[in-house]
Chains A and B, each alone.
Chain A
């Protein structure tokens, strides 16, 4: 178990630019989540994949945000025309198939985005 990895760890961009983040989940996990976290707040749900299908999207996810998970493996989150309000930590998590209870989320250490 090598854990969930996210790349890059930090990204500084200018307002209006596009950015893309990558998440590599734990290999046997079929569920993948994206969250966003701002300072002093808990993580906010953005979107969820089961295998390659994007099954849920939060109302927080504006049209400028798009996520993909081709072939049900790694995932990318793209933000177009970034705004200063997009500055946050973007967290990816994966979880295994459900059994009893709610499968625990395994988080990566996030990508910290700063929009100047």
Chain B
């Protein structure tokens, strides 16, 4: 399983763009990169997923360079409600009927007014 490394914490002011980078040097060919958001006392919530280049949805953008050894989650114009832990996961079909998805410790984002 590809191991991921991301900053333990980040601070940002409201209205700024936040970029959280995740390193995954051992990513496999069939692995996808998925980001989740978790608020206290809640389960994680899917944000975005990508395989290569750039993916954008209504919440965030995901940038993946050609070598796929890292990825960057971009949150535009954050608000206080974006204060949460953000997890980068790398995984794909395990061949046993499931998708191997391993959570790291995540990045605790604190948005400051």
> Which positions in A face B, CB cutoff 8 Å?
4, 31, 33, 35, 40-45, 48, 50, 53, 55-56, 91, 93, 95, 98, 101-110, 112
Contacts A101-B51, A102-B32; A107 near B45 (Cβ below 8 A)? yes
> Which positions in B face A, CB cutoff 8 Å?
32, 34, 36, 41-46, 49, 51, 87, 91-94, 96-106
Total residue contacts A-B, CB cutoff 8 A: 67
CB-CB nearest in chain A for B85: A42
Beta-carbon contact of A4 and B43 below 8 Å:
yes
Return chain A residues, CB-CB under 8 Å to B106. 42
Return chain B residues, CB-CB under 8 Å to A44. 103
CB-CB nearest in chain B for A95: B99
User: A99 CB to closest chain B CB, in angstroms?
Assistant: 12
Contacts A106-B46, A107-B45, A110-B43; A31 near B98 (Cβ below 8 A)? yes
Return chain A residues, CB-CB under 8 Å to B41. 109-110, 112
User: A56 CB to closest chain B CB, in angstroms?
Assistant: 5
User: A102 CB to closest chain B CB, in angstroms?
Assistant: 5
Beta-carbon contact of A105 and B44 below 8 Å:
yes
Contacts A101-B49, A102-B49, A102-B99; A56 near B43 (Cβ below 8 A)? no
Return chain A residues, CB-CB under 8 Å to B104. 42
Give the contacting residue for B105; candidates A40, A53, A104, A106; CB below 8 A.
Answer: A40
Question: How far apart are the CA atoms of A21 and B41 in the complex, in Å?
Answer: 17
Beta-carbon contact of B43 and A108 below 8 Å:
yes
Beta-carbon contact of A55 and B44 below 8 Å:
no
